Every structure is written in C-alpha cells, then in structure tokens.
Structure 1
Amino acid sequence: MALKNHYFFAVKLPGEVKSFLNEWVEINKEAFPFKKWVHPEDYHITLAFLGFVEESMLKNSIEKIKEVLAGENSFTLTLNEIGTFGAAKSPRIFWTDVQKSEVLMELQKKVYESCVKMGFELDKKPFRPHITLARKWKSEQPFHQDNLTLIRTNEGKLFSFTVSEIALYESHVESSPKYKEIAIFPLMPKE
C-alpha cells in the first residue's frame, strides 16, 4: 500500500534562521544525543497540521488560506530557549521556541479556525510555537532538564528574524529533506 502524504500550514523560516540553527546544532549536538536530527531545510513552525487531504479539499484550502492571509503583514520573531516534549528523562522531541508574539498567535488562530471551518479535524492541544531540531533521545543516561538553555548567538545576543511567508508543506517521510512546499502565501512587507 502506498504511503499517503500529509500536509500542514507553517511559518516558512528565512534561510538565515535555518543556517543559524544548523550551526547551533552542529556545535551542540554532541551534548544532546538524539537519534534523528532534523534537516535544516525542514525547520518550520507548524500552524495547522492537516494530515492526509483529498486533492479537491487541498485546492480549496489553498484558496481559502490565500483569502485569510491577504493583507496580513510580515512580523518579527525572536528565538528564545530550547526545550523538549515527552518524558523528562527520555524526550521524544527536542526544540527551540520563540519569544511570545501576539501577532503569531493571532495568525495561527486565523489559519487554524479557517481549517476547522473547511472540515479538517485538527489537534486540539494549545498552540506551542516551536521549531523541531531533533527526535528520540538515544543515550543510556537520562536527559537532564537543567541542560535546557536560552538559544543565543556566539556573542550572547538574541536572534531575531522577519516572517514574510507562510507555506503549505507536503511531507515525504522517505526523503531528506522531507517537506516539500506546495503553496507559498507571502505576507505584506512591514512599512
């Protein structure tokens, strides 16, 4: 049986963010022995995970989200800290998040609610904006939560960036990178 690809709407991260995170990972990955590190091209912030979607519904969702995002402005996000999801001593997801952003929260709410109105059954957990860096703790030693720190430049500064695009991605679990852009929704430049 053929694999069915899944789809999701996400913040498309600029190249400089992907490069910065990849450099951070290369410097720090030995301190965090996870089984699978995410390909830098796959870094994103999920807004709404759709799962498998029929072709007609996919086309409809692209048109609807294009309408929803029309007139939305680009905005700034700042990387914040690293964290985990899953068991404290053996986490399944290793991520970095961003500082609280009302603009991001409102944008996610618009995308999420539009998808629900179109008939998608979405995860009901509260939105936790994050960028997955790795999966599955593989060390014999337990993970130590006190290893979680703020993510900063080599000079100890915050790393901020402009979000100017939202994307619809299709996942290809057998590939690397595994996410393919299906549609791009540009945001209005900041004035």
Structure 2
Amino acid sequence: MDHQSHFFFAIRIPEQTKLVMREHMEKIKERTPFSRWVHYQDLHITLAFLGSSSPDKLIEADKNVKAVLIDETAFTLKINKLGFFGSGNSPRVFWADTEENNHLQTIRKKVFSACAKAGFQLETRPFRPHITLARKWIGQQSFQTELLDLWEEFQPAPLSFIAGEVVLYQTHLNKTPKYEAIKIYPLTSTET
C-alpha cells in the first residue's frame, strides 16, 4: 500500500552546515538513546506543515508563497543550543535551537499566511523554530537535562549559516533521506 505524501514549507539548511550537524549528531547519539535519528540530509526548519494535499491547493500555495517571498532577503541564523518537546523524563522530540531572529519570524508569518490563504488548515500552536534531530527517548533511565549541554561541548560558539532558501518538501516515508525538494524559493543574497 502506498503511503500518502505529506508536504511542508521549510528553511533549507545549507550542505556545509548539515555536514557539521552530522558530526555533532554522531557524538550526541553515543550519549542519548533516541529511537529514530533524523538523516542529516533531512535537517530543516519547518515553517508550515501542510499534510496531504490536492494538486490544486499545492499550486495555489506555491503561487502565494512565491508572491510573498519575492522581495525577501537571505539572512543569518545561529544554532546555539539543544532542546526537547514532551516530558522532561522521556522527550518525544530532541532538537537544535536557533537564536531569536526577527527575519525568520517574518518569513514564517508570510509563508504561513500564504498557505492559509490557499485553504490549508495549519497548526495553531505558537511557532517555535527548531531543527529536529531525533524522536522518542528509549533510555533505560530518565532523560537528563545535562544532555542539553552537549551542544556547547561540541560547538562552543553558535553555528552560523545563511538561510537563503525556502523549500516546499514532499515526504517519502519509505526512503532515506525522506524529504524531497519539490519547489525552491531563493531569497535574495543581501541582508537588509
């Protein structure tokens, strides 16, 4: 049976940054038992999760997102720490955080609104930008919050990168890596 594809808009993490993240993830993995680790090629920052979609709604979202991003510029993001969602004893999602960035918030609002305008029912929780690294704690003991300090151990200064593309991804659950870039929306190269 074929799984239904899901779609989402995200900030693409540049290749060089993904390679650094892969090195850190390998070291962190040795000390943090999670059930599923994200393939380094699938690292991203979700802006709007669409779920499954009809072609018509995707075409409308593509048109709307293209229009709202036309004058947006690339900007710098800095990965600076680790965090988690879920119970402090047994987190369900383990992620890398970025320093607060107003430009990221603006881009997210524009993409989110463009998708809502196309008819998508989107998640209403407050936006918490993050890069998912792993899911589902499977440790014999409770998760220790000191594990969040591992990032600073491996990356003493924030890991900076240029967020230069918003991407529409399609999920392929039976592949690794599982996210395929369907459309790319380049942000202009100078930050204002």
After superposition, residues 105-144 of structure 1 pair within 5 angstroms as: 105-144=105-144
| Structure 2 counterpart of 1:169 | 169
In 2: Cα distance, 1:179 partner to 1:137 partner: 23
User: Aligned residues, how many?
Assistant: 191
In 2: Cα distance, 1:155 partner to 1:105 partner: 25
In 2: Cα distance, 1:29 partner to 1:87 partner: 19
Given residue 176 of structure 1, which amino acid in structure 2 is its aligned partner? T
Partner secondary structure for residue 110 of structure 1: helix
Partner secondary structure for residue 67 of structure 1: helix
After superposition, residues 7-46 of structure 1 pair within 5 angstroms as: 7-46=7-46
- By how many angstroms is 1:90 displaced? 0.8
Q: Is the alpha carbon distance of 1:132 and 1:154 closer, same or farther for their aligned partners in structure 2, counting shifts above 3 Å? A: closer
Q: 2:89 aligned with 1:86, yes or no?
A: no
Gaps of 5+ in 1: none
Contact 1:152 1:159 in 2 (8 A): no
- By how many angstroms is 1:118 displaced? 1.5
TM-score by length of 2: 0.95
TM-score by length of 1: 0.95
Given residue 26 of structure 1, which amino acid in structure 2 is its aligned partner? E
Q: 2:149 aligned with 1:149, yes or no?
A: yes
- Identity over aligned residues, as a percent? 43
Contact 1:79 1:151 in 2 (8 A): no
Query: Where do 4+ consecutive residues of structure 1 move more than 6 Å?
Result: none
User: Once superposed, what is the RMSD of the aligned Cα atoms?
Assistant: 1.4
| Structure 2 counterpart of 1:62 | 62
In 2: Cα distance, 1:178 partner to 1:145 partner: 29
Partner secondary structure for residue 156 of structure 2: coil
